[in-house]
Each structure stands twice: as C-alpha cells, then as structure tokens.
Amino acid sequence: MRFLSVVAAAALSTLVLALCAPLAWSEDLTDTVLLVAKRNLKDRIYGNTILIAKPLGDERHVGFIVNKPTTMTLGKLFPKHLPSQKVVDPVYLGGPTGAEVIFAMVKGQSPGGRSVQLTPGLYLAFDSNVVDRIIESQPQQARFFAGMVLWQPQELAEEVRRGLWFVLDAQPEILLRKPTDGLWEELVGRSERKENTI
C-alpha cells in the first residue's frame, strides 16, 4: 500500500478542502463505505482491520481504522486538560498519517466547525476547538482517533480490485461499537459467508 507521506497540516488541509444489522454490500466508492480487511491482507497496520473511508474527490479517500484501540487515553495525552482525565475509553489508532492529531467521530448532530458528515447522524470533527468541546460535553457519544489513512487517486479502487477489502455500507452502530474486541472476526466471517452464497 502506498499512502501519502505528508505532515499533519497538509493532511488536514486535504480533508478540509474535500469536505449488528444485516451486512449490505457496496462497490460504490463514491460514498462513505466500511472496509473490512480480508484474511489475505497481511500487513502490520492494516491486517485484521475495519476502516471507514470517505471520498475526497478525484478518486482520493480518507479513512480511519475503527478497531485498533491504543494503550493511550486522552488523559495520558493531555494531562493538564481536566475534561480529558474523565474519558476512560482508549484513543484509537486511526492511521499512520498525522498520528499526532486527534480526531473525533461523533454520533448525533453536527458538532459544528468544519466537521464532515460521514453518514447520516455520524460526523468527523478535526478542528481542535470542536474536538475539545466534544471531549468536554459528549465524550460518551464519540470515538477519538490519533491519525488517519489517506489514499491517492484510484488507490483504494485498486486495492478493492486486488481483493484486499470487503466493501460494505457504512453503519454507525458498527463504527461506534464499544468495545471492538472480536468485531473484525465477526464481520470478516459474515462477509465470507455472504460472498460464498453469491
């Protein structure tokens, strides 16, 4: 896999500019999708993962790994920020690009700022003041990520053609499920069974 190697500020500017239910298959990469790594994807970062991927235009995508909790919490990352001390959930590894930036995926209405709608009722916040407000007022409705994944033009489509991902409709109840233990095994097993019946 080739991912853009850029500093966090450049990755954020790209994002700014672009702005368990039955599984539903999707091959349409022009909308937000759920990616489930197939068993043949042997990679230290991406093996056994589930990602949400959103198109940015020009066949580029941004995504976040949703099932890789780290040992870090917001309280450990921001020891002087009192509201962060109250959040007990781990920060998730969203991806290798901009790993020093904290993003919030939040359920409900738009948290404001330059937040991006991922699916109906699910938003991604990346402005630091908006992320801070989510930490302070609704951390139980959010998942926090360090970093993201960026795909170059047509890169994700090529990975799908190579058979690395099951592509499913994005479902907020899956994306925000806590904890994520066993989630990949569940989704890859269901996807394989569905694929075998087609």
For residue 3, is it within any domain?
no
Pick the more confident residue, 112 or 12: 112
Share of the chain above pLDDT 90, in %: 74
Residue 106 has pLDDT above 90, yes or no: yes
Mean pLDDT of 183-189: 95
Nearest C-alpha neighbor of 63 from the set 91, 90, 89, 97: 97
Domain membership of residue 198 (yes or no) is no
Residue 148 sits in a domain whose CATH number is 3.40.1740.10
Q: Is residue 197 part of a domain?
A: no
Domain count, the chain: 1
Q: Is residue 104 included in any domain, yes or no?
A: yes
Token digits for 134? Answer: 């989510």
Q: How sure is the predictor about 178, in pLDDT bands with cuts at 50, 70 and 90? A: confident
User: Mean per-residue pLDDT for 142-157?
Assistant: 96
What percentage of the chain exceeds 70 in pLDDT? 86
Report pLDDT for 27.
61
- Please give the sequence-ordered ranges of beta strands (E in DSSP) within the chain, or none if there are none: 33-37, 50-57, 60-65, 69-73, 90-93, 97-107, 116-119, 122-125, 142-151, 165-169
Distances (CA, A) of 170 to 25, 38, 133: 10, 17, 25
140 within a domain of the structure (yes/no): yes
Flag whether 36 is in a domain: yes
pLDDT at 5 over 90: no
Residue 9: pLDDT over 90: no
Range of the domain at 45: 8-191
| Residue 73 maps to a domain | yes
In a domain? residue 196: no
- Which segment of 11-25, 41-55, 99-113, 130-144 scores lowest on mean pLDDT? 11-25
End-to-end distance of the chain based on CA atoms, in angstroms?
28
| pTM for the predicted model, two decimal places | 0.84
